[in-house]
Amino acid sequence: MTQSTILIKNGKIVDSTNRLDCHDSIIIENGKITIIGDIPNTFTADQTIDATDCIISPGFIDLATHLPEPGMEQKGTILSETRAAVAGGFTHICCTPDLDPVIDTAAVVNFIHDKALQADSCHVYPIGALTKKLAGEQLSDLFALKEAKVIALTNLRKPFTSNQILHSALAYAATHDLLVMLHPEDSALANQGCVHDGKMSTFLGLTGIPSIAETVALARDLILVKETGIRAHFSQISTARSVEMIAQAKQQGLPVTADVAMQQLLFTEEDINHFDTNFHLSPPVRAIEDRDALLHGINTGIIDAICSNHRPHEWSAKNIPFAASAKGMSTLETILPSLVKLTLDDKIDLNTLLTCLTHGPAGIIGKTSGIKIGNLANLCIFNPTLSWNYSAKNSFSQGKNSPFLNQHLTGRVTHTLVDGKTVYAL
Amino acid sequence: MQNAVTNVQLNQHGQLRHFLSIDGLNKTLLETLLNTAESFIGMDEQPIKKVPLLRGKTIVNLFFENSTRTRTTFELAAKRLSADILNFNISTSATTKGESLFDTLQNLEAMASDMFIIRHPDSGAAHFIAKSVTPNIAIINAGDGRHAHPTQAMLDMLSIRRHKGDFSKLTVAIVGDILHSRVARSQIQALAMLGVPEIRVIGPKTLLPKNIELLPIKIFHQMEAGLSDADVVIMLRLQKERMQLSLIPSEHEYYQCYGLTKQKLAYAKPDAIVMHPGPINRGVEIESSIADSPQSMILKQVNCSVPMRMAILATVMSSYSEKSKPS
């Protein structure tokens, strides 16, 4: 922790949960926010950040980052991807367990914690595997994982060998008051598809993943959540019907939350037009009606958070025919400008967007966040009108698999502070 | 329909520089190809069965999937145009041994090839190669996954035109597994582009793709209604693996519902022609006696295949010599 003082001035503080929407200065001492308000001109700080034209937001929190280390360092490392995270305004990221080895033992959790400390960028919260090797057969040692401080448990989209195993996993996780992240997908219905089963799958002859692959699994999961009382977070829902089902579950008082990945808010199946492998995604981007329903879900609070579903890949994993290419998009560094575009198009307002990147995910994982006196200074400062070119040269992520590569974007993170330390400055 | 590939397939003068899918082309182009193919018909009865149009050009047949008739007709077409042709049968297991598709193709490009004829099990493979791997080599799509088989569709159009003449008066019914058929996708696009007013597909719901109603077609689930007054009946091949996924119960039941029997063919016009891209499964898709009847175009389709493929190879290659001329 730094012992210095930082003054952030001339910026606009936006933190809806703490009812802040004002031009004020912030002083950070010993890592913590100590003053929000008018600062006398005579005040001198060790470091001054001039945030003219910028918005000061709580740091972004991601619920689903695929960190490729350990095991897939050709795609990226904890160092490279946490640097990408802070360049994108993230102060906390939750990393998924689909690594080699899988995060199913305390040793892997500790390895990631150690590497993240060395990288010295943002906080990394590992998500443990519900079943050993994510094979869906045998429960991981969930209590040991809890002791090692995993933030949640998940089996991602890997199927359980039976509903009995899934039921047991949820009941046992509830015993230890763990949070479970469910990615509903019936693997048989998903049929090893690579795009939404709709217009483009028909035109391009690509195998489709039907919407019912998600909704059938979601219906089953919701019944089991009610049965077991598990705290369940549904990650990366992608269909209009899923939004309705989550809304109904919340109305019934089930302990559920949900997020959507940024890809599902920005793109639709139409974008696959040229067999562009950047759009080989899991879950797939679906029809326009689905995208609109997901935006509606964000605007009405049915969906609590937006996640990155960041998956960096090496060049050769994406430069092969569509179905054979690796799934995923590198997103951490472009999430802010791409979503700012949605605010300019009046699809979503800025406050809602920022809530879905900050307080929304914080609430799900039980962390406090926000710009408040006494809180550690985890902040993202961004200029919403700054135009820039996202390129292989200025990107930190090892994965260049982004449709935004070499595109002009509007809105850029200028500073990221983690626990009162400036870890990224433009 | 999408114009997904216009900019990949055509050069700045609107000429064909690759032949990847029917989608993105236009009626004039298709008609020119058909006319060129007509001019090659009958060449195999001449004492010298060759023209020197592609002399000095090197064409590589790159087949990542098994094929006999498509590969040999392309080979014959290239030889009749006086090109040099190399055949590579690359099983996908060989490419997974280490060398990526990208590297395999770049190696072949380095051997000064002018054109690749590509069949690949992945949808979009031909586009990927044309766009990202070897943009300076002409690419002919000889079938990619479930996506497109445009040369087959064109030779079927040639057969239809030779036997039925005017496309604008026809009712064409396509029967069977549309979902998994690259041939059907390309045929539907070509028929629509050439002005066929009524294109029908007939099959069980499990073998029709989602959102198929977005295509310019009418959907039928019964043969009787679907074949009624049809001029052209195109039967598709049924593959054994469709039974394993429970998309249909059995070959027997499929034949009962969708097999083309004399009785069902009677619903079509008396002079209706029957087509099949081959290889045919007698007694599964089609009654044996129909396959051998005068109404069957199955062997005549094969006769159209070399002239049509010659026309496509020659047309695509000519856009490259045009390009080198000062404009």
Rounded to 5 degrees, what are φ and ψ at B100?
-80, 160
- How far is residue A125's CA from residue A109's CA, in Å, rounded to a whole number? 9
- Regarding whether A383 and A316 lie in a shared domain, the answer is no
Q: Do B100 and A273 touch (CB under 8 A)?
A: no
Of A210, A319, A321, the CB nearest to B124: A321
Contact: A275, B145; criterion CB under 8 Å: no
Cβ contacts of A274 on chain B, cutoff 8 Å: 4-5, 8, 127, 131
Sort out which chain A residues have CB atoms less than 8 A from B147's CB and list them.
204-206
Same domain, A49 and A197: no
B193: pLDDT strictly greater than 80: yes
Among A313, A329, A364, the domain boundary falls at A364
Q: Inspect the interface and report whether the beta carbons of A320 and B215 lie closer than 8 Å.
A: no
- Within a domain: A272: yes
Measured between CB atoms, which of B100, B147, B210 is closest to A205?
Answer: B147
Residue-wise pLDDT for A124-165, tens only, equals: 999 999 999 999 999 999 999 999 999 999 999 999 999 999
Read off the CATH number of the domain in which A395 is found. 2.30.40.10
Residue A369 scores a pLDDT above 90: no
Same domain flag for A159 and A32: no
Contact A316/B100, CB-based, under 8 Å? yes
Instruction: Provide Rg for chain B, Cα atoms.
Output: 20
Residues from chain B contacting residue A199 (CB–CB below 8 Å): 210-211, 214
Per DSSP, the residues of A86-113 read: HHTTEEEEEE-S-SSS-S-SHHHHHHHH
Q: Which residues 303-342 of chain A have a CB within 8 Å of chain B?
A: 316, 319-324
Range of the domain at A26: 5-55+374-425
| Top-confidence residue, B300 or A245 | A245
CATH number of B150-301: 3.40.50.1370
Query: Tokens 């069965």 belong to which residue?
Result: B49
A208 Cβ under 8 Å from any chain B Cβ: yes
Helix (H) or strand (E) holding B320: helix B298-324
Average pLDDT over residues B220-249: 90
Statement to judge: residues A137 and A192 lie in one domain? yes
Choose among A198, A201, A275: nearest Cβ to B127: A275
Query: pLDDT-based confidence at B104, cuts 50/70/90?
Result: confident
Is A190 a residue whose pLDDT tops 50? yes
- Summarize the confidence of residues A282-307 as an average pLDDT: 98
Same domain, A183 and A329: yes
Q: Is there a contact between A205 and B185 if contact means CB atoms under 8 Å apart?
A: yes
Task: Indicate the residue of A201, A319, A323 with minimum beta-carbon distance to B122.
Answer: A323
Are residues A71 and A163 located together in one domain of the fold? Answer: yes
In-domain check, residue A369:
no
The count of domains in chain A is: 2
Packed helices A240-251 and A211-228: angle between N→C axes, nearest 10 degrees? 10
- Structural domain contains residue A51: yes
Mean pLDDT computed over every residue of chain A: 96
Q: Does residue A89 form part of some domain?
A: yes
Query: What phi and psi values does residue B184 have, to the nearest 5 degrees?
Result: -60, -45
Judgement on whether residues A266 and A390 belong to the same structural domain of the protein? no
A67 and A51 in a common domain: no
CA distance A220 to chain B (A): 23
**What number of C-beta contacts closer than 8 Å exist between A and B?**
79
**Chain A residues touching residue B131 (CB < 8 angstroms):** 274
Residue among A191, A200, A202 with most chain B CBs within 10 A, to mutate: A202
Taking the model in full, what pTM does it have? 0.91
Question: Please, which pLDDT band fits residue B323 given cuts at 50, 70 and 90?
Answer: very low
Of A324, A339, A364, which closes a domain? A364
User: How many C-beta neighbours within 10 Å does residue A40 have?
Assistant: 6
| A81 and A171 housed in the same domain | yes
Per-residue pLDDT for A396 more than 80?
A: yes
Sequence-distant (≥ 6) Cβ neighbours of residue B41 within 8 angstroms: B304, B307
Give the pair of three-digit tokens for residue A206: 């690509």
* Contact present, B236 and B177 (Cβ < 8 Å): yes
Start-to-end C-alpha separation, chain B: 33
B298 alpha-carbon distance from chain centroid? 14
Interchain pair A201, B209: CB under 8 A: yes
The answer as to whether A386 is a domain residue is: yes
SS3 B274: strand
Residues from chain B that touch A275, judged by Cβ atoms under 8 A, are 123-124, 127-128
CB-CB under 8 Å, A274 with B211: no
Q: Start-end ranges of CATH 3.40.50.1370 in chain B?
A: 6-149+303-324, 150-301
In a shared domain, residues A43 and A91:
no
Judged by a CB distance cut-off of 8 A, whether residue A199 touches chain B is yes
Complex-level ipTM: 0.85
CATH number of the domain that A76 lies in?
Answer: 3.20.20.140
**Nearest Cβ partner for B2 among A198, A203, A207:** A203
| CATH architecture under which domain B6-149+303-324 falls | 3-Layer(aba) Sandwich (3.40)
Q: Which chain B residues are within 8 Å of A210, Cβ to Cβ?
A: 210
Same domain, A213 and A276: yes
Q: How many CA atoms lie within 13 A of B83 on its CB side?
A: 25
Residue B209: its chain A contacts at CB < 8 A?
A: 201-202, 208
Q: E strands, A237-378, where?
A: 256-261, 305-307
Residue A259 counted as domain residue: yes
How far, CA to CA in Å, does B299 sit from each of A107, A179, B31, B276?
A: 67, 65, 23, 9
The pLDDT value given to residue A17 = 87
- Out of A201, A274, A324, the one facing B122 most closely (by C-beta) is A324
- Tell me: do A384 and A360 sit in the same domain: no
**What is the distance in angstroms between the Cα of A209 and the nearest Cα belonging to chain B?**
11
The pLDDT of residue B92 is 57
Domain end: A343, A364, A385, which one? A364
Distance CA A42, CA A25 (A): 14
- Is-contact A160 A169, C-beta < 8 A? yes
State the pLDDT at residue B94. Answer: 53
